[in-house]
Amino acid sequence: MDVVVTGLGVLAPFGRGAERTFEALVAGRSAVGRITRFDASEQRSRIAAEVRELEAGADLSAADLRTYDRFQLFALLAALDAVRDAGLGDGPLGDRAAVVLGAGIGGLETIERNHEALREKGPRRVSPYFIPSAIPNLAASLVAMRVGALGACISPASACASGAHAIGEALWALRAGRADLVLAGGTEAAVTPLGVAGFGAMRALSERNDDPARASRPFDRGRDGFVIGEGAGVLVLETAAHAAARGARVRARLAGYGATADAHHITQPDPEAAGMARAMARALEDARVSPADVGYVNAHATSTPLGDRLEAKAIRDLFGDRPPPVSSTKSALGHLLGAAGAVEAAIAVLALERGLLPPTLNQEDPDPQIELDVVPNEARPAGLRYALSNAFGFGGTNATLLFAGS
């Protein structure tokens, strides 16, 4: 059973709108800057790709802004945009509609704020909204409430692969006939003192603090860690029959999904990169597509020394000597953690639609260990039928999505 993408919603550091994000990417802009949301002066990494626009308006009330965590608000906006993009109207979506929307962490800012209240003022000063605003699945639930989706409502938590797993699991649910339509994606808002300190403690973040726009440089020899970002991405997925019956515009087909585990280490990827390669291979097998038909890979590549090299190895192991063009849009967007896989899935759909590959920025000193065409620095027109999008998470969890042009 074919599953199609009929709506895209992205709230990213470039602002609201999937097209807006894509256009900024192909223009070669960077969303990375100094951290403004808190005093980061003592952090190892003092740079981030922050969402700057989050105001009360038609879709969010002042009460929403005061009550819910940013990761939940991001998800609401992305989901509403996706629903509108799909032409679904304002009515309830009903019991054949599901929400599968993941987060890697959840309401970290909420946790920090309430812990501060606990320590400074005691347990009776913890907010009654602390738990609902902190737990990861409340993003999915708020979306379900807003759009009247009465089917399954769940939140995969697989770190930086959460958004991609959500989309892949939605594909399986649609094929199994468990729903006709799924709002699927991921959301994250971990640009907080504790979040940045935690990733910093692992030495996972770039410390190129004086040059934010050039800090995220996946595949480049000067890469020194990822730049943390925040945002949300949501796709409207439907069975092809359901989309056709309501006359929906099909933006792409979600053709395949591969999910694997390294079963190797809590944070380090398997040095053989076998789990990554198997995720990509499974996605292709799932769709009965051969590697030669893939015209673009949106890489997970976060700009860490080891991770990028291993993903490049996995791509070479699967595709051989002539791999397709590969770019990492994290070079411009930063790493949106649990939202990354979903936002990058939307980017892959737009790349297919427009026949245009977004570049990998900051390619100045190619790493000889990375034998890939990384679409350096400038967008490139390309006719393509299939695009892969990779997302890998701590815990050694890997997800690959395969999209086909409509």
Partner 1 sequence: MSGKQKAGSGNGGGNGVGGRVVGVVARVMNAEAETLAPELRFVEDLRADSLRVMELVLELQEEFGIDIPDSALDQIRSVGDAIEYVRGKLTAG
Active site residues: 160, 300, 335
Q: Of 123-131, 304-312, 320-328, 343-351, which part binds partner 1 (CB under 8 A)?
A: 123-131
Interstrand relation of 326-327 and 294-298 (parallel, antiparallel or unpaired): parallel
Q: Is 132 in the site for partner 1 (CB under 8 A)?
A: yes
| Closest distance to partner 1 from the beta carbon of 63 (Å) | 4
Closest CA to 163 of 74, 251, 100, 226: 100
User: Is residue 125 close enough to count as binding partner 1 by CB under 8 A?
Assistant: yes
Shortest reach from residue 62's CB to partner 1, in Å: 6
| Interface characters, 211-250, with partner 1 (x: CB under 8 A) | ----------------------------------------
Rg of the chain in Å (alpha carbons):
20
β 380-381/294-298 pair status: unpaired
Least distance in Å: CB of 371 to partner 1? 55
129: which residues sit within 8 A by CB, 6+ positions away?
67, 68, 110
Q: Count the Cβ atoms, other than its own, within 10 Å of residue 334.
A: 32
3-state secondary structure of 354: helix
Which stretch, 27-35, 61-69, 86-94, 215-223, contacts partner 1 (CB under 8 A)? 61-69
Q: Is 58 in the site for partner 1 (CB under 8 A)?
A: no
Residue 129 found at the interface with partner 1 (CB under 8 A)? yes
Q: Let me know the angle formed at the C-alpha of 72 by 69 and 75, rounded to the nearest 5 degrees.
A: 150
Instruction: Give the burial class of 255: count Cβ atoms within 10 A of its Cβ; 0-12 exposed, 13-18 middle, 19 or more buried.
Output: buried
Smallest distance, partner 1 to C-beta of residue 68, A: 12
Stretch that binds partner 1, among 59-67, 208-216, 307-315, 347-355 (CB under 8 A): 59-67
**Among 29, 37, 59, 127, which residue sits at the site for partner 1 (rule: CB under 8 A)?**
127
Question: Where does this chain bind partner 1 (CB under 8 A)?
Answer: 61-63, 66, 124-125, 127-129, 132
